[in-house]
Chains A and B, each alone.
Chain A
Amino acid sequence: MAVCVAVIGKDNSPKYIRCVDESSALQFHCKVHTSIDIIEEKLNVGNKAATDIRDLYLNLLYATEEYKIYGYATNTKIKFIIVLHSSNVSLRDNDVKMIFKKLHAAYSNAVCNSFYIPGDQLNSRQVQSI
């Protein structure tokens, strides 16, 4: 299972971040934060090449000795990041993709809430349930 899930807004501010181990939250915050750089870069590249047919899934952003960080960006530049343990081999690329899909759906549902102001911190049970 993922050790950390994050939803990042258009302006690269965190909307939602949740870690399995709350005590090392800061560490994950840093990891996720720095991985924005790579997402940005990937999105930039995409912009140059073909804006329309860009895969939302950004693949592995980078791997450290402990963790693998995967990224996913929607067309509205909302970014999802999942941090996995490096030792976790049960999850394949496709599985990660599936998680992202689910996350995206949950996020869409949360945003559909008419009381949600775009840009605010996410506070949705649905998102939290994943």
Chain B
Amino acid sequence: MRSAISVILSSPVPDNKMSHPDYEQTAHDHAALLLLLRPIGTQIKQKTVTRLCERIIKTGSRFSVADSTGGTRDILARFVREHPVENNDWGDFQTHRRLLGLITFGKYDNQVELNELCRVHETLKVKYSATLYDSRAILFGPVESNNVHEPPTLFSTPSNFKTRAVFYTDETCPDLETHVMECLNSLFWILESKRLERSREKIDRVSLLLAPFEKKDFIGLDLESRNNKKRCVGRMTKHLGDLCLQAGLPADALSNYNSAASVLQAVNDWLWLGAAFEGLCAASALVLYPNMCRSLPLQRNSSLQEGSPGKQRRGSQAVATLPSPPAIEVIKSNMPHILLPEEISKKYREAIVHYSKYQYAGIIETEASFKATRISIEQNCTLQAASYLSSVILINLSLSEQEKIDRFTTLSDLYTSFGFIRKASFCLRFAAARHVSQNNPNPDWQQCYNLMLQATSGFKLSLDPVEMSPENHRGWPVIQIQVITELVTAANRMGNPALSTRHMTFLLQTMYNYLTPNERKETALQLQNVSQQCEGAPVPLVLDSGTVIPPANLTNIPKTKSFILKNMQPHLQPQKIERAKEDHGPFLFTPINFGSLERKNISKSKVAGRPKEVGDLEILGFSTHTLGVKSNCRLRYMEGMVHSQYTVEVVPALPRIEVATSLPQTASFSSGDNIVTSASISLYGGESAECTVTITNSGQVPIETIELSVQSTLDTVLESKIFKWSEENLMAQLPLQAGASASLTLYLYAATDFIAPTSRNDISSSTYLSQPSSLMSHSGHSSLPSRLNSPSHTKRQSELTSSFRSGLSSHSGRSSLASSRLSKLAVPLHTSNVVEGQLNIKYSGGAGLTAGYCRISSVFVTIEMLPSVQITNWDVLPAETPSQFYLVLDLTNMTNHEMELHYTQTKCIYMEGKEPCRIPVPVDRCPLNKLSMLNGAGDIGELQKVCSEHIASLVDLRWQLLGTESIGKATLSGITLTQDMLDLVRMSPLQWEIKINDAVVKAQDELTCNLGECVSVGIGICNALEHPLSDLMLSINFYQDHHNGVNNYQLETRLSIAGANKVMLPALQEYGRVYHECRVVFFTTGQYKIDIQCSSKESTPNTPVVCSELINAGHTWRYIPPIEITCAILFFKLNRSFTFGHKLVENRYRFQHQLRQQICFLCAYFDKHLTKIISD
């Protein structure tokens, strides 16, 4: 419909059309005088012109003039830098489009240049001659002129130069404002005169005013028709309204417009009716919103291009003094035709509708829409404003591309000004596209890119990837992707590969989740392509316009799943010297371990660094180089990161060591801290070996201290036996300079337990295997067989003794091995053949030492301890001399080699592999002074310990494996002794002196006596202790050993004792001696034994006792071995004893006497018995 009307009302091809729309117009401009500011010539600097223009605009934009009636007129002026002469053609239609004034700026150095300037000025005057009222030329010359309006001496203006010129030398031109005001005043007065002239015209004489395109329409029309007359009057009234408005008479203008509108409406002159309405609106707006331009938002200014006249005008008006808007009621009473705010937009809409009926009034319509929009904005009617703007797009104009761009940027500005940022961005994008459209003869990608960049904010698109993180991502991804893609294209086409790489990276980084897999692939490929031209780097890019494009880092390609700060290898970690070894101190280097996702496969990357300075090191992220883009990936901006940064304390430099050993490395060792190397060796029990540990300082810092320690699961005593070293030797080699080495000899000793843990088991395994373990453990001690056990013990022990004897010989090595394996389970430490230890080398030096840090490196030492000799059983036997005893050992060669075993200085034995054998080792008895050193609780355990240590120290078992070079030493430590054994092992505290028939008896002397002979037994006891003994009881008991385990003490019928066989000794002083004697007569022949023992009485619990007494309290000392006396009758003796036979002859009488005595004795005996029998 719209187009239909246009076709009807307007001619198809108009001669003149206004082809230069002025989108910056406001309604206020209807009231303004239009002036052109134009620099001429080539000399004058752009900067000067700009500054001058600013000054002019500041003074001239709004001024007051006193008119002829005495009132003041508020006059507005609009200064433009460009004015297409075609626009003047619309001056009849709307007078504010006429250019009324011209001010030129020029600079000359000589006459020729001055002439040229004058010529150009005159040419401009001619150009706008149709409308121009007045002009000024501001000229800067080299010399000062006497009169500002006269050229300086030696210079002259050409004769055809009729303009009033102002001559200056310097560019400050202090009285510029005065001259401008004078010019403006003259313009006003000319205008005022024109207005008066028009207003005085006769109503019926007026000529028809025409819009440019209308000229053909009226050809052939009856100009004299009534209708046309009315049209002429209406148009002229409207024209008068325009002039009134410009001349500062809004009230007159309003009434003129009003009457014009009613006239024009009647004749259906839509175009001019529209203009009348617009005039009404403009005049009303001028009155209602005198400050309107000021209310435009500030960002509008910033988005305007440099040098735009609109901007300058508005900026200056903001500075001018502004009257506050008067109340509407007051105005309404003064100006009855004024439109109310809501009427303004209504009328404007009507005006636009009327304009729209004419195809060639498109520009007027567009401009009207913009003006209406601005008023709506002023009225805060944004929706209305938006509707004006959206209708602008529908106006079909054939415009140049540049004008289209301007249209869109203006639209965008306006949309922005009332907050429609999305629309604004949309328009900007359109404008950008116009810059490079196919119709554009000179595409400008730079401009396109700039506009595009401005548009991004409307799409909630921030070019900083940090703000575009998935959590706070807003906006429309599809559109955003499109915009970024366009940005990339624009950047590419304008020849800035760095930018396109940046945007491409940004696209991939921020929009990754919104891209389809295919798009991702494509984008990645494109990125790879563009980055080949310019590698992406994580630095902000600064554009020519000053815009900074923040860096885009590809943090999600590869996607980091986890970021772990990895400590240094333990042996490189510095330790606080004060701290315990196990503590993890701070670390020095920063090896980082991060995983990356490359499409589907996960890979681990390790980044290691070496700090250069001491202090706190903050780890914020890492850098990648992906698809040709270098990215700084900050943990803070990455998804799924636990910590946004890590802080590493960097301590002063510490030395580093490398450790090597002379022994082969362990194939595998149990993992532990700090271990740098390992050493392994196999040793037979008791064998020793050396291991050289070489410590090389591989760092830069000298090593000043080294501390050595061994760490193992063993107890300290055993540990110190196995691992030995000389600290002094190592210390002597310090300090260790960089690159130097020190060596340390580690002595290793296979400290196995040579005592078979449960020998009893071996012996009677068949019997006891099924027994509970409690019995087994108990049996270990009590089972030690001894013939020296108390005679009161029963038959079983003799059985054991026999089994001991026989069992050893009969036991095969195999079965004992099997049982020892069994025992391994019970006591793993003794039999486990691998000992693991860790030699910790704690070292430090340099600044690190001063700061209190050290490092620990460890050598893992594995010693495989093979069994060599095992003592399966042992016993003590009295030796020939009381000062010694025999330690009888049952040894088994546990190796497969033949073994030579030296057990005394002179004696040695050869043993086949796995062969058991028995050896007697003479050992000095434990002297009493060793025992006397015992203090504290004198329990049996202490005593045993001392004794077993005594044995271990004296018995020296040295073995050598034939065939191998291994030699070793077995110790008896850990041997256990029973009470009876102990008595034998230690020196008796009592020294015995036994006399039989007054002859001193030595142990194991063979003694005989005759039947019925009275044998005197003398016993001397000497206290060898250093303290007195008290309450001793010496007892002499005779018994017969049946050699089947039965000892018969019931000997009343076989012997008779004269004298006490029990004597109480109240006290025995130290080194004191007592002697007791008694006599005995044997009635029957046989072998008798005398058990001589001395027991101390149980100490009463209440009386406090000296501790040494405690040892002896309740104890029994026995004379060992027991004395054996063989009693025989004479003849028997004769047969038996050759010696005795000789004596017989010699002592015949004596024997006779003895025989007689015996007979008497026998008689008496029989008598006694007979009487006893009878009495029974």
Asked if chains A and B come from one complex, the reply is yes
Which residues from chain A sit less than 8 Å from chain B, CB to CB? Answer: 11-14, 17, 25-26, 29-30, 33-34, 36-38, 40-42, 45, 62, 65
With A37-B420, A41-B382, A62-B390 given, is the CB distance from A14 to B426 under 8 Å? no
Contact status B390-A33, CB under 8 Å: no
In the complex, are the beta carbons of A34 and B426 less than 8 A apart? yes
Interfacial residues of chain B within 447-482, with CB under 8 A of chain A in the complex: 459-460, 473-479, 482
Hey, what's the 0/1 contact readout for B382-398 against A, CB within 8 Å counting as 1?
Answer: 11001100100010000
Q: Are A41 and B474 in contact (CB under 8 A)?
A: no
CB-based contact B479/A30 at 8 Å: yes
B421 within 8 A of A: yes
Asked whether B986 is an interface residue with its Cβ less than 8 Å from the other chain, the reply is no
Interface secondary structure of B, over-half rule: helix
- Which among B394, B420, B476 is the interface contact of A41 at CB below 8 angstroms? B420
9 residue pairs, one from A and one from B, having the closest CB atoms = A37-B420, A34-B422, A37-B422, A29-B478, A34-B423, A34-B426, A13-B474, A37-B423, A29-B479
Whether B415 sits at the interface, judged by CB under 8 Å, is yes
Q: Knowing A37-B421, A62-B390 touch, does A25 contact B415 (C-beta < 8 A)? A: no
Separation of A30 and B426 alpha carbons in the complex (Å)? 8
Give Cα distance in the complex from A17 to B476, angstroms. Answer: 10
A30 to B473, CA, bound (A): 18
Task: Determine if B478 and A65 form an interchain contact, defined as CB atoms under 8 angstroms apart.
Answer: no
Query: Closest approach, in angstroms, between the C-beta of A46 and any C-beta of chain B?
Result: 11
In the complex where A13-B476, A37-B415, A62-B390 touch, is A26 in contact with B482 (Cβ < 8 A)? Answer: yes
* Distance, CA A13 to CA B422, complexed state (A): 12
CA distance A90 to B476 in the complex (A): 31
Q: Which residues of A contact B479 (CB under 8 A)?
A: 26, 29-30, 33
How far is B477's CA from A65's CA once the two chains are assembled, in angstroms? Answer: 26
Q: Which residue of B lies closest to A37 (CB)?
A: B420
The residues in B between 407 and 425 inclusive whose CB is less than 8 angstroms from any CB of A are 415, 419-423
| CA gap between A13 and B459 in the complex, in Å | 10
**A29-B476, A62-B387, A65-B394 provided; 8 other pairs, C-beta below 8 A?**
A12-B475, A13-B473, A14-B476, A29-B478, A33-B459, A34-B426, A37-B420, A38-B386
- B423 contact set on A, CB distance < 8 A: 34, 37
Q: Which residues of B contact A33 (CB under 8 A)?
A: 422, 426, 459, 476, 479
Closest to B426 in A: A34
* Residue in chain A with minimal CB distance to B482: A26
Q: How far is B390's CA from A34's CA once the two chains are assembled, in angstroms?
A: 12
Question: Taking each of A11, A25, A65, which has the highest tally of chain B beta carbons within 10 Å of its own beta carbon?
Answer: A11
Chain A nearest CB: distance from B83 CB in Å? 34
A13 near B475 with CB under 8 A, answer yes
| Cα-based distance from A17 to B473 in the complex (angstroms) | 17
| Interface residues in B653-702 (C-beta closer than 8 Å to A) | none
Across the interface, which residues of A come within 8 angstroms of B394, CB to CB?
A: 65
Question: In the assembled complex, which residues on chain B have CB atoms less than 8 Å from the CB atom of A45?
Answer: 383
CA of A33 to CA of B394, assembled, Å: 20
A30 to B477, alpha carbons, bound, how many Å? 11
B386 and A25 contact, CB distance less than 8 A? no
CB B1001 to nearest CB in A, in angstroms, measures: 108
Interface size class of B (residues with CB under 8 A): 20 to 34
Chain B residues within 8 Å of A36, by CB: 422
In chain B, positions 202-224 with a C-beta closer than 8 Å to chain A are none
- 27 A-B contacts, Cβ less than 8 Å apart? A12-B475, A13-B473, A13-B474, A13-B475, A13-B476, A14-B476, A14-B478, A25-B478, A26-B482, A29-B476, A29-B479, A33-B426, A33-B476, A34-B420, A34-B422, A34-B423, A37-B415, A37-B419, A38-B383, A38-B386, A38-B420, A41-B386, A42-B383, A45-B383, A62-B386, A62-B390, A65-B394
Q: How far is the CB of A64 from chain B (nearest CB, A)?
A: 8
Min distance, Cβ A25 to any Cβ of chain B, angstroms: 7
State how many angstroms separate the Cβ of A30 from the closest Cβ of chain B: 6
Nearest residue (CB) in A for B393 is: A64
- Encoded as 1 (CB less than 8 Å from any A CB) or 0, chain B from 1035 to 1077 comes to 0000000000000000000000000000000000000000000
Q: Which of A25, A30, A42, A62 has the most CB of B within 10 A?
A: A30
A124 to B394, CA, bound (A): 38
Pick the most buried of B394, B475, B478, B482: most chain A CB atoms within 10 A of its CB: B478
Chain B residue with the shortest CB-CB distance to A6? B476
CA distance A29 to B482 in the complex (A): 11
Query: Shortest Cβ distance from A80 into chain B, in angstroms?
Result: 16
- Interchain CA distance A14-B514 in the complex, whole Å: 12
A37 to B412, CA, bound (A): 13
Please indicate the chain A residues that have their CB under 8 angstroms from the CB of B482 in the complex. 26
Encode contact with A along B502-527: 1 for CB under 8 Å, 0 otherwise. 00000000000000000000000000
CB distance from A106 to the nearest CB of B (A): 21
Shortest distance from the beta carbon of B318 to any chain A beta carbon, whole Å = 26
Q: Which residues of A contact B426 (CB under 8 A)?
A: 30, 33-34
User: What's the minimum C-beta distance from A40 to chain B, rounded to whole angstroms?
Assistant: 8
Closest Cβ of chain A to B411, distance in Å, is 12
From residue A31, how far is it (CB to closest CB) to chain B in Å? 9
CB distance from B516 to the nearest CB of A (A): 13
Query: In the complex, what residues of A have CB within 8 A of residue B478's CB?
Result: 14, 17, 25-26, 29
CB of B474, distance to nearest CB on chain A (Å): 5
Nearest B residue (CB) for A28: B478
Residues of A within 8 A of B419 (CB): 37, 40-41
Bound complex: CA of A12 vs CA of B460, how far in Å? 10
Cβ of A12 and Cβ of B386 under 8 Å apart? no
Cα of A66 to Cα of B386 in the assembled complex, Å: 18
When the two chains form their complex, are residues B415 and A12 in contact, meaning their CB atoms are under 8 A apart?
no
Give the chain B neighbours of A41 by CB distance below 8 A.
Answer: 382-383, 386, 419-420
The complex places the Cα of A17 from the Cα of B387 at a distance, in Å, of: 25
Residues of chain A with a CB closer than 8 A to B475's CB: 12-13
Question: What's the minimum C-beta distance from B63 to chain A, rounded to whole angstroms?
Answer: 38
In the bound complex, CA of A11 to CA of B473 (Å): 10
Q: Please, how many angstroms separate the alpha-carbon atoms of A53 and B477 in the complex?
A: 34
Cα A31 to Cα B477 with chains together (Å): 14
Docked complex Cα distance between A78 and B426 (Å): 23
Bound complex: CA of A38 vs CA of B422, how far in Å?
10
For A42, what are the chain B residues with a Cβ–Cβ distance below 8 Å?
Answer: 383
> Which residues of chain B are within 8 angstroms of A13 by Cβ–Cβ distance?
460, 473-476
User: A17 vs B421: C-alpha distance in the bound complex, in angstroms?
Assistant: 21
The answer on a CB contact under 8 Å between A37 and B476 is no
- Give the distance in Å from the alpha carbon of A65 to the alpha carbon of B459 in the complex: 24
> Which residue of chain A lies nearest to B479 when distances are taken between CB atoms in the complex?
A29
The smallest beta-carbon distance between B401 and chain A, in angstroms, is: 21
Distance between Cα atoms of A34 and B421 in the complex (Å): 8
Contact with A along B414-442 (1 / 0, CB 8 A): 01000111110010000000000000000
The smallest beta-carbon distance between A14 and chain B, in angstroms, is: 5
Q: Please, which residues of chain A bring their CB within 8 A of the CB of B382?
A: 41
Which chain B residues lie closer than 8 Å to A40 at the CB level?
419
Check A11 against B474 for contact (C-beta < 8 Å): yes
Q: How far is the CA of A122 from the CA of B419 in the complex (A)?
A: 28
Complex alpha-carbon distance, A25 and B476, angstroms: 12
Closest B residue to A48 by beta carbon equals B380
Instruction: For the complex formed, measure the closest distance between the CB of A67 and the CB atoms of chain B, giving whole angstroms.
Output: 12
Residues of A within 8 A of B474 (CB): 11-13
Query: A49 to nearest B CB, angstroms?
Result: 13
CA distance A33 to B460 in the complex (A): 11
Contacts of A17 in B (CB 8 A): 478
Report chain A residues within 8 Å CB of B422: 33-34, 36-37
CA distance A41 to B476 in the complex (A): 19
Q: Which residue of A lies closest to B481 (CB)?
A: A26
A26 → chain B closest CB, angstroms: 6
CB distance from A122 to the nearest CB of B (A): 14
A40 to B394 alpha-carbon distance, docked (Å): 23
Q: How many Å lie between the Cα of A25 and that of B382 in the bound state?
A: 28
Compute how far the CA of A120 lies from the CA of B1005 in the bound complex, rounded to whole angstroms.
112
- Near A by CB (< 8 A), chain B positions 824-852 give none
CA distance A3 to B725 in the complex (A): 92
A72 to B294, alpha carbons, bound, how many Å? Answer: 35
CB of B452 to closest CB in A, whole Å: 14
Q: How far is the CA of A33 from the CA of B383 in the complex (A)?
A: 16
